[in-house]
Structure 1
Amino acid sequence: MTHGDTSPGPGVEPFEVFALRYAVHRGRRQVDNFIGADPHEAGSDLSYYIWVARRSDRVFVVDTGFGQEAAAGRGRTLLAQPADRLRLLGIDPARVEDVILTHLHYDHAGTLGDFPHARFHVQDHEAAFATGRCMCHSVLRQAYDVENVVGFVRALYGGRVQFHDGSAELAPGLWVHRIGGHTAGLQVVRVWTRRGWVVLASDAAHLYANLHQRLPFPIVHDVGALLEGYQMLHTLADTPDHIVVGHDPLVASIYPGLSSSGDIVRLDAPPRPLA
């Protein structure tokens, strides 16, 4: 699967794709965003997003964000509940059938209870990582929330988890691909849109600087896999402008917004050039 694949096949309807910003984290340092950075220099803020891919026959929600308790506990500013952001697009979380969890960190797999009828798509390696021996190490479990993981296990026992191992086509024009690196089972989402193949990188690349300068984010399971993942993103996307990173505030400003706040932007439209 490379960017040489120009189409998912004849007659496949393209998806609309949106990024929905629901929280921010301000006052970061460079060392918080890049391995080996100067701890005295100020760094980029982070924005927190969930994503939507929808067309006439299917709606996929990508990640479920976090709520007020996690925001308060981790010093993040919650702008809105992720479920409320979805309602602005006319999507009722209680009716969502498919949620792709790129990984199980607190900011990507919280609020699962707001999706009571969803099937959760996750990689085998991620579930094993989040519930296995690596969680004996505090540095690896710090970005997980035990109650979120317990909620995921409850959904599993309720028959609402679909596992994937590597690459899988969930619908014509929508794939997941395991990259790992940031966590053992992180997956990205490749979506066919009116402008071609767009890749929702999630935490395979937090910021554009991580991706373009090959500077790894400090929360990492396997640095080598993370660096290799940057190249995989370029392989999966039609062009670098088709890669949407996971936490960069620039996403909310370079893509056309549905409102002046920039909290919901369209990713199936081309971005403005990065400054």
Structure 2
Amino acid sequence: MSDWQVYAVKYAERNTRTRADSFIFDDNHDAPHAMDYYIWVLRRGDEVILVDTGYDGAEAAARGRPIALDPREALKPLGLRPEDITQVIVTHLHYDHAGGLHLFPNATLHLQEAEMGFATGPCMCHDTLRAPFTADHICEAVKRLYAGKLVFYSGSAEIAEGLRVHCIGGHSRGLQCVEVRTQAGWMVLASDAAHYYENFLANKPFPIVVDLPEMLQGFSTLRRLASKPELIIPGHDPLVRQMFPVGPAPHIFRLDQGPVRTDLLKGFKP
């Protein structure tokens, strides 16, 4: 089979953050540190798989975190309509990754068992653990389950030829990354297993963490799965926009042919 095309689709950003929001025990904690928000599109011939859904205007208003583009609008330059999306890999159920599940009503969801158990179990009695989740998004996932449109995985699994998921945990109990074969080699969409390149290149954990050892081990797993470190795609790093070429619109970036710059990663060391 042929390789997959992979696109990162940016739909929002936050420029009011500091490094304390991104790294535990960072020496330069009050320095600005921006965050981008992406969803990802995998394409091979007529096959299209969406990885995560972003969140919509209602969630943006509720959390005071505006979006630049509704995820449905963001996908239009790729010739995709919401009703065309029939498969969605949900890396985890946090609001910025599963907040648009309802926007893609025809999609079957691919999710780790551990993530559904975490998001609907006793850990959600704690405000701190519950904060990144929104009840309506979890209910939408449950509705898909009862409609026969949710596939569970436990650990690693092949979703399609040249496409696998792996449970990482750490940031959320059932967080999974996506390993995909591309022209440039085996690429790993880390999602929030590494928010930034610096997380996994310098072994610096992200502060929102359920299991710190799992998060640190996850960095090693990402490096093992990818053909080379520059093919690990973090979930929120603005550097993605500098390293990869622009696709069919200014907010879309083509990943599968590999980065056009790798020098930007040289300063990140453990």
TM bucket, shorter chain: over 0.9
Cα distance in 2 for partners of 1:152, 1:40 equals: 36
Q: Which residue of the partner structure matches residue 213 of structure 2?
A: 224
How many equivalent pairs are there?
263
Contact 1:32 1:43 in 2 (8 A): no
Contact 1:50 1:65 in 2 (8 A): yes
Contiguous gaps of at least 5 residues in structure 1: 1-11
Q: Deviations over 1:38-67 (max 9, x none)?
A: 585223110000001111141110000001
Distance 1:128 1:55, change over 3 A: same
Q: Which residue of the partner structure matches residue 192 of structure 2?
A: 203
Cα distance in 1 for partners of 2:263, 2:57 equals: 32
Q: Which residue of the partner structure matches residue 142 of structure 2?
A: 153
Q: Which residue of the partner structure matches residue 30 of structure 1?
A: 19
Q: TM-score, normalised by structure 2?
A: 0.94
Q: Deviations over 1:217-249 (max 9, x none)?
A: 111100000000000000000000110000001
Partner SS, residue 184 of structure 1: coil
Q: Which residue of the partner structure matches residue 225 of structure 2?
A: 236
Q: Which residue of the partner structure matches residue 47 of structure 1?
A: 36
1:180 aligned onto 2:169: yes
Say which is worse superposed, 130-139 or 31-40, in terms of deviation: 31-40
Contiguous gaps of at least 5 residues in structure 2: 265-270
Contact 2:17 2:34 in 1 (8 A): yes
Picking from 254, 257, 264, the partner of 1:269 is: 257
Instruction: Write out the 4+ residue segments of structure 1 that deviate beyond 3 Å after TM superposition.
Output: none
Q: Kindly state the Cα deviation for residue 114 of structure 1 after the two structures are TM-superposed.
A: 1.5
Partner SS, residue 107 of structure 1: helix
Picking from 60, 75, 81, the partner of 2:49 is: 60
Q: Kindly state the Cα deviation for residue 76 of structure 1 after the two structures are TM-superposed.
A: 2.1
Distance 1:40 1:237, change over 3 A: closer
Identity of aligned residues (%): 47
Contact 2:87 2:109 in 1 (8 A): yes
Alignment of 1:35-114 (within 5 A): 35-38=24-27, 41-114=30-103
Cα distance in 2 for partners of 1:214, 1:192 equals: 25
